[in-house]
A and B are shown apart, each in its own frame.
Chain A
Amino acid sequence: MAVRKNQAKLSKAERRDFVEALLELKRRGGYDKYVEIHDRFVMSDLDDRERTGHVSPSFLPWHRQFLLDFERDLQSVNPAVTLPYWEFTVNRSQSDPIFAADFLGGNGRERDAQVMDGPFAYSGGRWPIYFKADERPFLMREIGKNKGTPQLPTAATVEAALAAPYYDEAPWNSTSKGGFRNLVEGWANGNTGPHNAVHRWIGGHMNTGMSPNDPVFWLLHCFIDKLWAEWQKRHPKVPPYLPVTPVKDIVALDQPMKPWIEQGKRVVPADLIDHKKFYKYDTDA
Chain B
Amino acid sequence: MSDLTRRRMLGRTAAVAAGIALAAPAAQAMAADAGTPATGHEHDHHTGGGHQPFDEVYEGRRIEGRLTAGGGHHDFGIAVFVDGRPLHIMPRGNGWISVMNHYEVFDSPYEVTRAAVRALRGVNLV
Contact = CB atoms under 8 A, between A and B. Distances in A.
Given A55-B92, A130-B5, A136 B123 contact: yes
A40 B9 CA distance: 11
Q: Which among B74, B99, B125 has the highest number of chain A CB atoms within 10 Å?
A: B99
Contact of B2 (A48, A130, A187): A130
A47 B126 CA distance: 26
A196 B103 CA distance: 5
B105 interface: yes
Interface residues of B, number: 30
**Which has the most chain A C-beta neighbours within 10 Å: B93, B100, B123, B125?**
B93
Contact of B125 (A49, A134, A207): A134
Interface centre among B101, B102, B104, B126 (most CB of A within 10 A): B102
B119 interface: yes
A113 B122 CA distance: 11
B105 A133 contact: no
Contact of B102 (A48, A130, A211): A211
Nearest to A55: B92
Interface stretch (A28-36, A255-263, A274-282): A28-36
B90 interface: yes
Given A48-B43, A208-B99, A200 B104 contact: yes
B107 interface: no
A235 B61 CA distance: 51
Contacts of B104: 146, 148, 191, 196, 200, 207
Interface in B39-97: 42-43, 74, 88, 90-94
A132 B9 CA distance: 8
A113 B118 CA distance: 11
A146 B103 CA distance: 11
A3 B40 CA distance: 48
Contacts of B93: 47, 174-175, 187, 191
Given A133-B126, A209-B99, 11 more contacts: A30-B1, A133-B88, A134-B124, A148-B104, A174-B92, A175-B93, A187-B92, A199-B103, A207-B102, A208-B99, A208-B101
19 contacts: A29-B1, A32-B5, A36-B5, A39-B99, A43-B99, A47-B93, A49-B42, A112-B123, A132-B9, A132-B126, A134-B125, A135-B123, A148-B104, A174-B92, A187-B92, A196-B104, A197-B103, A207-B104, A209-B88
